[in-house]
C-alpha cells in the first residue's frame, strides 16, 4: 500500500466562498486526495471576518479577525516542517513585509506558489494608492515567493512570462481558471418572448469594473427593454435601469447564472488586468451565454470576436454589441453555444486536472 503524503494549503479566504479560490485550486482537492495526498487548509480569514471584511465599519471584528489570522500563521510556522508540500495562494499574511513568507519558505520541504492578478507590474503604483497603502499590501511578498518557490502557478500567459524570468528554477506554469461544466449547465432559452437579462457576477472588490458600464446601461435603457442582474455580495443602485441585485450564495449559484441571457465582463485597460485569468468570462461560457468583454489582457485568448463572444474597447462599442445581442436571439444562441463548446474542451475541471497533478508531482519531487 502506497504511503500517503501531506499537503498544507495556505490561503487568504475561508474554503468555498471566494471565486478566486473556489474556481481555481479548491475544486481539485478530491482529485489530489485520490492521487495520494492528505490536505489541510489554513485560511488567514475565518468566516466571521469574511462576512464583514468588505463592509464599512465593523472595526472591532476586523481587528479581531487580523489577530486571529496572524495567530493561525504563527501556528502554521510550527507545523510546516511536518508536511511534504506547502501550497501558498497569493500570500501568507496580507500586510507588511515578507517576514511570514520567508519563514514559511524556510520551513517547507517543497513549496508551490499560486498567484493571480498582475501584482508585480509597476508594483505598488496602481492609481490612487498612497505609499502607506502600498506598504500595507506588502508588494515584496509576491516577488519573494515567485523567486523562491519550487513551482509557480500563474493566472495568465503574460504573468507566466514575467514569473518565469524571476523564478530561480524557471519553473512556472500557466493554468487557466476552470469550472465544473457538469454542474454549470446551460438553461437560457435564447428567446425575446420574455425580458432579456444582462448579467454580471463579482464581489465588492471588483465592483469598480461594473461601474465602468453605468453610462452604457443608462443609454441602452433609453432605447431597449432589458433587466440588469447583478450577482454579488454588495448593494447596488442604478437609476433609470431595470436592476435586480442578487446576493450570491453557493447553493443558488447555478440557478442565479442560468437566469441570464447575456454576460458582461468589463475591465479597465491598464497593466493590472494583464494578470487576470478571465474567470467571469469562463463562467459565462460554461452556461452558454453570449459574452461582451473588454478586449484587454487574457480576454482575447478566451474569446474570439464574433465566434464565441464579442470584444469591445469603447463605450460606443459596448452599446453597439449589447444592442445586437438584445435584438438578435439567433446571434445569442450561435455565440453562446460556441462558448459552451470551448468551456467544456478547454476550461472544464476534467480538461485542467492533469495540469495541477503534474505541477504538484514536479514540486514535491524537490523534497525527495
Query: What are the boundaries of each domain within the chain?
Result: 5-178+349-367, 197-346
Q: What is the pLDDT of residues 7-23, one digit of tens each?
A: 999 999 999 888 889 88
Contact 357, 35 (CB under 8 A): yes
pLDDT of residue 71: 96
Q: Does the fold of domain 197-346 match that of domain 5-178+349-367?
A: yes
CATH topology of domain 5-178+349-367: Rossmann fold (3.40.50)
Residue 228: all three cell numbers together = 440588469
* CA dist., res. 52 & res. 355, Å (int): 35
Which residues make Cβ contacts (< 8 Å) with residue 37, sequence separation at least 6? 4, 5, 6, 7, 85, 360
**pTM of the predicted structure, to 2 decimals:** 0.87
Decide if 285 contacts 340 (C-beta within 8 A): yes
E strands present in 4-127? 5-11, 37-43, 85-89, 111-114
Q: What is the DSSP string of 182-248?
A: TTS-------SSS--EEEEE--GGGHHHHHTTHHHHHHHHTT---EEEEEESS----TTS-EEEEE-
Q: What is the secondary structure of 248-262 as a DSSP string?
A: --TTTHHHHHHT-SE
Average of per-residue pLDDT values in the chain: 91
pLDDT band at 118 (very low <50, low <70, confident <90, very high): low
311-360 residue pLDDT tens: 999 999 999 999 999 999 999 999 999 999 999 999 999 999 999 999 99
**pLDDT tens-digit series, residues 57-94:** 889 999 999 999 999 999 999 999 999 999 999 999 98
Q: How confident is the model at residue 127 (pLDDT cuts 50, 70, 90)?
A: very low
Q: Which CATH superfamily is domain 197-346 in?
A: Glycogen Phosphorylase B; (3.40.50.2000)
Amino acid at each position: 500500500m502506497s504511503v500517503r503524503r501531506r499537503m498544507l494549503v495556505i490561503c487568504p479566504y475561508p474554503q468555498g466562498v471566494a471565486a478566486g479560490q473556489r474556481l481555481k485550486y479548491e475544486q481539485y482537492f478530491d482529485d489530489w486526495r485520490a492521487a495520494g495526498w492528505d490536505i489541510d487548509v489554513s485560511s488567514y480569514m475565518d468566516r466571521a471576518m469574511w462576512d464583514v471584511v468588505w463592509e464599512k465599519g465593523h472595526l472591532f471584528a476586523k481587528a479581531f479577525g487580523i489577530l486571529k489570522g496572524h495567530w493561525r500563521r504563527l501556528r502554521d510556522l510550527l507545523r510546516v516542517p511536518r508536511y511534504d508540500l506547502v501550497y501558498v495562494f497569493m500570500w501568507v499574511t496580507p500586510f507588511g513585509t515578507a517576514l511570514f513568507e520567508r519563514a514559511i519558505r524556510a520551513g517547507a520541504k517543497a513549496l508551490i506558489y499560486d498567484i493571480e492578478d498582475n501584482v508585480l507590474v509597476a508594483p505598488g503604483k496602481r492609481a490612487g494608492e498612497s505609499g502607506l497603502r502600498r506598504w500595507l499590501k506588502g508588494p515584496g511578498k509576491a516577488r519573494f515567493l515567485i523567486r523562491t518557490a519550487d513551482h509557480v502557478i500563474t493566472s495568465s500567459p503574460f504573468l507566466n512570462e514575467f514569473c518565469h524570468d524571476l523564478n530561480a528554477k524557471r519553473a512556472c506554469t500557466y493554468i487557466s481558471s476552470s469550472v465544473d461544466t457538469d454542474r454549470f449547465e446551460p438553461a437560457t432559452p435564447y428567446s425575446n418572448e420574455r425580458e432579456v437579462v444582462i448579467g454580471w457576477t463579482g464581489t465588492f472588490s471588483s465592483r469598480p469594473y461594473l461601474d465602468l458600464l453605468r453610462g452604457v446601461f443608462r443609454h441602452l435603457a433609453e432605447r431597449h427593454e432589458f433587466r440588469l442582474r447583478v450577482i454579488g455580495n454588495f448593494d447596488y443602485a442604478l437609476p433609470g435601469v431595470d436592476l435586480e441585485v442578487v446576493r450570491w450564495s453557493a447553493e443558488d449559484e447555478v440557478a442565479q447564472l442560468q437566469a441570464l441571457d447575456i454576460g458582461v465582463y468589463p475591465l479597465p485597460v491598464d497593466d493590472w488586468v494583464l494578470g487576470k485569468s478571465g474567470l467571469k468570462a469562463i463562467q459565462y461560457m460554461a452556461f452558454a451565454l453570449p459574452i461582451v468583454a473588454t478586449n484587454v489582457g487574457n480576454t482575447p485568448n478566451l474569446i474570439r470576436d464574433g465566434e464565441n463572444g464579442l470584444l469591445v474597447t469603447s463605450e460606443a462599442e459596448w452599446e453597439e454589441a449589447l444592442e445586437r445581442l438584445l435584438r438578435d436571439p439567433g446571434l445569442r444562441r450561435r455565440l453562446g453555444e460556441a462558448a459552451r463548446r470551448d468551456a467544456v474542451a478547454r476550461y472544464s475541471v476534467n480538461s485542467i486536472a492533469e495540469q495541477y497533478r503534474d505541477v504538484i508531482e514536479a514540486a514535491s519531487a524537490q523534497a525527495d
